[in-house]
Amino acid sequence: MNVLIVEDDRALARELGLFLYDEHYHCDFARTGREASEKLFVNEYDFVLLDLGLPDQDGLELLAQARKERNKDASIIILSARGSVDDRINGLNLGADDYLPKPYSLLELGSRMQAVTRRKHGVVEDKLSFGGFVLNLSDRSLRHGDTPIVVTRKEFDLLHYLLLHRSKVLTRLQLSEHIWGSTMTDSSDHDSNYIDVHVKNVRKKLAQADPENEWIETVRGIGYRLRPDNAAPAPAPAPAA
């Protein structure tokens, strides 16, 4: 998939490019509004990652322009340090598919891009499963076989995120960024230590239903991962629901 990264900061664009390359996206870069316009005129992209604070142009203008021309089907995600409420609302009104305030976690960006793609292609799974567990996304419930397991909102989000990136190690920061990213509260509530509390609770609930397996693994000091179904040495792709 082709991605146009519109970002005036070279170092930031580079990190973004590295990550997306790793995730098998093909990246193109534009550092000014003009450059971006030219590329949008010539090429077709699946994604435009748009920084609003460009040196020569307001990113929102570019957004409106991109929506009209060749790339009107591209998914546009705004990445902005401005983060004012108006920007967010204007951006979404002008047709952006999502909005992430800087600094964001790359994993979160990746997840949002996947979600946008799934939405675009009408692939909306409402059930995800691992082991004997089933996560129902439409009513946000968790079951083990026929037994419902009561989880809190945050616990559900945590499990869902781990499942989306199954077999990968997710750092506490990435998890907390996903779970609390949108709520503006004091720094203490973003504290990634709370993740441990949630993980502990989720583990307890999973163990009640399935005492044999330890599904959520602690990976050294880094974070957690959801174990693949058959504890094979090579990480297997998540089975389709």
Q: Does 231 bind another protein (CB under 8 A)?
A: no
How is residue 169 annotated by DSSP? -
- Alpha helices (H) along the chain: 10-22, 33-42, 59-68, 85-93, 106-120, 153-164, 172-180, 187-190, 193-209
Among 102, 106, 128, 98, smallest CA distance to 25 is for 106
Q: Does 86 bind another protein (CB under 8 A)?
A: yes
Q: Does 52 bind another protein (CB under 8 A)?
A: no
The torsion defined by the Cα of 83, 157, 114 and 96, in degrees rounded to 10, comes to -30
Cα-based distances in Å from 232 to 40, 163, 236: 44, 17, 8
CB half-sphere exposure, 139, CA atoms < 13 A: 7
Burial 172-203 (b: 16+ CB within 10 A, else e): bebbbbbbbeeeeeeeeebebebbeebbeebb
Binder among 2, 9, 34, 134 for another protein (CB under 8 A): 9
Minimum distance from CB of 68 to another protein (Å)? 28
Nearer to another protein, 97 or 177 (CB): 177
**Binding-site size, another protein (CB under 8 A):** 49
Q: Does 83 bind another protein (CB under 8 A)?
A: yes
Nearer to another protein, 135 or 165 (CB): 165
Q: How far is CA 36 from the centre of its chain?
A: 24
Minimum distance from CB of 185 to another protein (Å)? 5
Binder among 2, 171, 213, 218 for another protein (CB under 8 A): 171
Q: Does 115 bind another protein (CB under 8 A)?
A: no
How is residue 237 annotated by DSSP? P
Binder among 49, 66, 107, 128 for another protein (CB under 8 A): 107
Residue type at position 60: L
Q: Does 156 bind another protein (CB under 8 A)?
A: no
Q: Does 154 bind another protein (CB under 8 A)?
A: yes
Nearer to another protein, 43 or 152 (CB): 152
Enumerate binding residues for another protein (CB under 8 A).
9, 11-12, 15-16, 18-19, 22, 53, 81-86, 102-107, 152-155, 169, 171-174, 176, 183-192, 194, 197-198, 201, 220-223
